[in-house]
C-alpha cells in the first residue's frame, strides 16, 4: 500500500534544494486561484506581477521571492506555491525514490542546467537564466535552426536532453496544464 507523506521535513528539504518550479526552469508563470489577488493575502511582489486574462490569473516567474531558495517559504504565499507537487516529490512521497535518490536527481538537473547557462554565456557573452535562453532560441527560431553554428546546435541538444529529464522527473503534461496557463495570454484584463 502506498502511503503519501505530507509536509514532511524530507519533502521540504527536497523542495528547498530544488526550486525549479519557482526560478523559471519548469514554468514561465504560475496560476492563481480565481479571486486570489483580491483576497489581499498575496505577497506584494506576486501582486505586482499579477496578470489577469480571459483564460485566468497568474504571476510571472521566476518568482521575485526566490533567491536560490524561497525567501518566504514559511510565510503566506500563493496557493500554487504550496499546492504544486512535481513528479519527483510525488515519487518520493509514495516511496518510489529515496530522499538521497531525489536529491541526486536535483543535483544532476542543476548541473545540466548550469552547463546550458554556461554555454549560452559563452555564445552570447551575457548572463541569461534558463528561461531567457529558451526564449532567445524560440523568439528567433529561424536564426538558430540553420544548423551552421556548432555551439548553438550543442546548446539546443543540451536543452532537449535537459527537457527530457524535466519531463521524466519534474513535470507531467497534466500538471503543467493544471497549474499553468500554457496558452499565451492574448489580452490583459484591467
Predicted local distance difference test score (pLDDT) of residue 185: 43
pLDDT in tens, 142-161: 676 666 688 998 999 999 89
Predicted local distance difference test score (pLDDT) of residue 145: 63
Of 171, 124, 156, 151, the closest CA to residue 25 belongs to 171
Domain ranges of the chain: 9-179
Q: Is 0.75 topped by the overall pTM?
A: yes
Residues in the chain with pLDDT values less than 50: 1-7, 179-190
Predicted local distance difference test score (pLDDT) of residue 147: 62
Predicted local distance difference test score (pLDDT) of residue 54: 86
The burial class, CB within 10 Å (0-12 / 13-18 / 19+), for 28 is: middle
Predicted local distance difference test score (pLDDT) of residue 176: 53
Amino acid at each position: 500500500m502506498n502511503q503519501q507523506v505530507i509536509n514532511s521535513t524530507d519533502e521540504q528539504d527536497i523542495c528547498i534544494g530544488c526550486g525549479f518550479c519557482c526560478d523559471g526552469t519548469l514554468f514561465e508563470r504560475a496560476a492563481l486561484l480565481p479571486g486570489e489577488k483580491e483576497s489581499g493575502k498575496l505577497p506584494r511582489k506576486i501582486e505586482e506581477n499579477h496578470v489577469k486574462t480571459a483564460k485566468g490569473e497568474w504571476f510571472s516567474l521566476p518568482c521575485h521571492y526566490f533567491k536560490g531558495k524561497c525567501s518566504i517559504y514559511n510565510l503566506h504565499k500563493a496557493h500554487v506555491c504550496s499546492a504544486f507537487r512535481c513528479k519527483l516529490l510525488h515519487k518520493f512521497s509514495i516511496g518510489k525514490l529515496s530522499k538521497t535518490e531525489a536529491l541526486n536527481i536535483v543535483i544532476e538537473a542543476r548541473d545540466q542546467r548550469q552547463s546550458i547557462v554556461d554555454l549560452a554565456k559563452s555564445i552570447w557573452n551575457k548572463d541569461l537564466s534558463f528561461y531567457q535562453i529558451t526564449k532567445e532560441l524560440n523568439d528567433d527560431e529561424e536564426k538558430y535552426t540553420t544548423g551552421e553554428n556548432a555551439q548553438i546546435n550543442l546548446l539546443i541538444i543540451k536543452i532537449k536532453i535537459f527537457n527530457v529529464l524535466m519531463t521524466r522527473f519534474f513535470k507531467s503534461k497534466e500538471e503543467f496544464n493544471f497549474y499553468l496557463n500554457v496558452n499565451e495570454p492574448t489580452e490583459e484584463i484591467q
